[in-house]
Amino acid sequence: MIAIIDYQAGNLTSVVKAVRFLGAQNVVVTQSPQDLLHASKILLPGVGHFRSTELLHTLGLTAVIRQAITAGIPFLGICVGLQWLYQGSTEAPETPGLGCFAGHCERFPAALGGQRIKSPHVGWNSLESIRPGSRLLSGIPSGSYVYYTHSWRAPLSADTAAQTLYAGAFTAAVERDNVMGVQFHPEKSAEVGLQVLKNFLAL
Amino acid sequence: MLTKRIIACMDVHNGRVVKGIQFVDIVDAGDPAELAHRHARAGADEIVLLDITATHEGRGTILETVKRAAAELFVPFTVGGGVRSAEDARAVFDAGADKVSINSAAIARPELIAEIGSSFGAQAVIVAIDARRAQNSSDPVAQAEVYVSGGRKPTGRRVLDWAIEAEQRGAGEILLTSMDNDGTRAGFDCELTRLVSQAVQIPVIASGGAGSAAHFAEVFLHGKADAALAASIFHFGITDSRQLKAEIAAAGVSMRLPC
């Protein structure tokens, strides 16, 4: 069973559609702790405000997600779902993240080196410095384009599996063992995005 | 590097793709679902479906068409026309759209921008502005006026003021259509696009007047557009996105290639 967590942060239709398109049979959109513990894969999509992740805590899912991750179930956070894997975000300083990865997410600067930076960062940007051996990004060459729409970004660290350049470098994909996240939208990134989801489903 | 986006737009009337010349003459160009997929395969970075009959005939958005078009479409998909409430927007998202474009309804009730944004995120709300230069003014570009109802009704509002207000109210992007240039294939209104793009932080999509690769390069390089939209340039086999993008890239604009 592929569990897609519904925490009322935006629209899940596209993610569900992409996962089904790739041949996944048993896809459930769920808020149930039992579903998560019995899933073969867990996806945490989400667009919108970092504060919306508080519902995960309210629903009692935070502890369950930790448990599932410890049990080795492959976990993929998308967009805000990736950001939540960090310690927190300046978008909602009072809302803690899961803290799987060190660091806080920050807003793009309004300007850099005298150049105005538009925000949100919307559109197709390239994946750079893809870490050799990344299972999530297997078969995807650096320079491949993916679709972004976000105003906050995660810092680079040893767990960064790929970076993207916009007002400096940020984490495009993060991966440590079975815990993974992508800042871009694989469900909207044409063939490259489908390959990322396919890699995840094949774990 | 962030690339400039080429957005294939389909104006839909009674379930068929059409293309108006300066918002009036209508020519049939095919099935929306089939064309959406063809555009995506041909390298369009994004697809927009505008139900051009929705406003003045009071019809709801054509959800079935949206559903068919969204199936197996894995690039961003925007739907506009007839979205007047957060419930209308929800129905369009449920049918498979990633963003909604709102126009007349946002002018009538600007709170709608935040209402949709609070449930679906600001990135899902595009405010579309139909603009006409103020020809009798000493500064026709700065004084350009917002029109609604498919370009039929002047509002007395300045384009620049409305774009800034839309951003403040939480719009994720601005879709700026030059009614003066729409359908002419004589090029985008680069001056107006530049003025708006420099006044807001959010991306601005230029629309109206695409006729050649040079026009796109011009609106990206001089008009400071973040994306540009075209309809008729694709539909009748003039060119496909891949070829168009290669030509734009050759003019020095960063494009998603190969795509």
Set of chain A residues whose Cβ sits within 8 Å of the Cβ of B39: none
Mark residue B90 as left, alpha or beta (left: phi above 0; alpha: psi -120 to 50; beta: remaining).
alpha
- Does A11 have pLDDT greater than 80? no
Q: What is the pLDDT of residue B55?
A: 52
Q: Cβ of A150 under 8 Å from any chain B Cβ?
A: yes
**For A125, which of B1, B96, B172 is closest by C-beta distance?**
B1
Q: What is the SS3 assignment for chain B? A: CCCCEEEEEEEEECCEEEEEECCCEEEEEECHHHHHHHHHHCCCCEEEEEECCHHHHCCCCCHHHHHHHHCCCCCCEEEECCCCCHHHHHHHHHCCCCEEEECHHHHHCCHHHHHHHHHHCHHHEEEEEEEECCCCCCCCCCCCEEEECCCCEEEEEEHHHHHHHHHHCCCCEEEEEECCCCCCCCCCCHHHHHHHHHHCCCCEEEECCCCCHHHHHHHHHCCCCCEEEECHHHHCCCCCHHHHHHHHHHCCCCCCCCC
Residue A173 belongs to what H/E stretch?
A: strand A169-176
Using pLDDT thresholds of 50, 70 and 90, give the confidence band for residue B239.
low
- Does B56 have pLDDT greater than 70? no
Q: What is the pLDDT of residue B45?
A: 96
Strands A41-44, A2-5: pairing is: parallel
The SS3 call for residue A102 is coil
Set of chain A residues whose Cβ sits within 8 Å of the Cβ of B93: 11, 13
- Catalytic residue check, A187: yes
The residue-averaged pLDDT of A142-146 equals 98
Tokens matching residue B252: 């020095």
Report the distance separating Cα B148 and Cα B131, nearest Å.
9
- Does B152 have pLDDT greater than 90? no
Of all residues in chain A, the one with the smallest CA distance to B47 is A188
List Cβ neighbours of A103 (8 Å cut-off, separation of 6 or more).
Answer: A86, A87, A154, A155, A157
Contacting B residues, span 168-197, partner chain A, CB-CB under 8 Å: 172-173
- Does A69 have pLDDT greater than 60? yes
Low-confidence winner among A31-35, B25-29, B47-51, B169-173 (lowest mean pLDDT): B25-29
Q: What is the pLDDT of residue B20?
A: 52
Percentage, residues of chain B above pLDDT 70 = 90
Contact at 8 Å (CB) between A1 and A35?
A: yes
Set of chain B residues whose Cβ sits within 8 Å of the Cβ of A191: 74
Report the distance separating Cα A80 and Cα A150, nearest Å.
9
- Does B258 have pLDDT greater than 80? no
Cβ distance A47 to B121 less than 8 Å, yes or no, reads: yes
Using pLDDT thresholds of 50, 70 and 90, give the confidence band for residue B236.
low
Q: Please pick, among B45, B51, B88, B130, the residue that the annotation labels catalytic.
A: B130
Q: Cβ of A145 under 8 Å from any chain B Cβ?
A: yes
Report the distance separating Cα A2 and Cα B258, nearest Å.
32
List Cβ neighbours of A74 (8 Å cut-off, separation of 6 or more).
Answer: A40, A41, A42, A178, A180, A200, A203
Low-confidence winner among A10-14, B16-20, B44-48 (lowest mean pLDDT): B16-20
Tokens matching residue A84: 């939540």
Cβ distance B202 to A121 less than 8 Å, yes or no, reads: no
User: Which own/partner contact pairs does A130-136 have at CB distance under 8 Å and 24+ positions apart?
Assistant: A130/A161, A130/A162, A130/A173, A131/A160, A131/A161, A131/A162, A131/A175, A134/A161, A134/A162, A134/A173, A134/A175, A135/A175, A135/A199, A135/A203, A136/A76, A136/A161, A136/A173, A136/A175, A136/A180, A136/A182, A136/A196, A136/A199, A136/A200
Domain ranges of chain A: 2-201
Q: What is the pLDDT of residue B54?
A: 57
β-partners of residue A105 are A89
Q: Cβ of B3 under 8 Å from any chain A Cβ?
A: yes
The residue-averaged pLDDT of B70-84 equals 93
Fold classification of B5-250 is TIM Barrel (3.20.20)
- Does B150 have pLDDT greater than 90? no
Tokens matching residue B39: 């555009």
β-partners of residue B144 are none
List Cβ neighbours of A53 (8 Å cut-off, separation of 6 or more).
Answer: A7, A9, A46, A80, A84, A95, A97
Of all residues in chain B, the one with the smallest CA distance to A126 is B1
Set of chain A residues whose Cβ sits within 8 Å of the Cβ of B121: 9-10, 47-49
- Does B146 have pLDDT greater than 80? yes
Cβ distance A123 to B173 less than 8 Å, yes or no, reads: no
Low-confidence winner among A2-11, A123-132, B103-112 (lowest mean pLDDT): A2-11
Using pLDDT thresholds of 50, 70 and 90, give the confidence band for residue B255.
very high
- Catalytic residue check, B11: yes
Set of chain A residues whose Cβ sits within 8 Å of the Cβ of B75: 147, 188-190
Q: Cβ of B42 under 8 Å from any chain A Cβ?
A: no
Report the distance separating Cα B150 and Cα A39, nearest Å.
49
Set of chain B residues whose Cβ sits within 8 Å of the Cβ of A10: 119-121, 124
Cβ distance A123 to B226 less than 8 Å, yes or no, reads: yes
Q: For residues B189 and B235, which has the higher predicted lDDT (pLDDT)?
A: B189
Q: Cβ of B220 under 8 Å from any chain A Cβ?
A: no
Q: Cβ of B115 under 8 Å from any chain A Cβ?
A: no
Percentage, residues of chain B above pLDDT 90 = 66
- Does B110 have pLDDT greater than 60? yes
Model ipTM over 0.85: yes
- Does B60 have pLDDT greater than 90? no
List Cβ neighbours of A175 (8 Å cut-off, separation of 6 or more).
Answer: A131, A134, A135, A136, A137, A159, A161, A181
- Does A9 have pLDDT greater than 80? no
Report the distance separating Cα A116 and Cα A156, nearest Å.
22
The residue-averaged pLDDT of A175-202 equals 98
List Cβ neighbours of B25 (8 Å cut-off, separation of 6 or more).
Answer: B183
Q: For residues A10 and A26, which has the higher predicted lDDT (pLDDT)?
A: A26
Low-confidence winner among A162-171, B116-125, B135-144, B236-245 (lowest mean pLDDT): B236-245
Q: For residues B196 and B231, which has the higher predicted lDDT (pLDDT)?
A: B196
Measured from the Cβ of residue A202, the count of other Cβ atoms closer than 10 Å reads: 11
Q: What is the pLDDT of residue B259?
A: 66
Report the distance separating Cα B43 and Cα B20, nearest Å.
24
The residue-averaged pLDDT of B93-103 equals 94
Low-confidence winner among A1-15, B89-103, B196-210 (lowest mean pLDDT): A1-15
Q: What is the pLDDT of residue B59?
A: 53
What CATH number belongs to A2-201? Answer: 3.40.50.880
Contacting A residues, span 73-112, partner chain B, CB-CB under 8 Å: 110
Query: For residue range A159-172, what is the model confidence (pLDDT) as tens digits?
Result: 999 999 999 999 99
Q: Cβ of A168 under 8 Å from any chain B Cβ?
A: no
Report the distance separating Cα B182 and Cα B36, nearest Å.
21
- Does B58 have pLDDT greater than 50? no
Cβ distance A123 to B1 less than 8 Å, yes or no, reads: no
Low-confidence winner among B75-84, B171-180, B226-235 (lowest mean pLDDT): B226-235
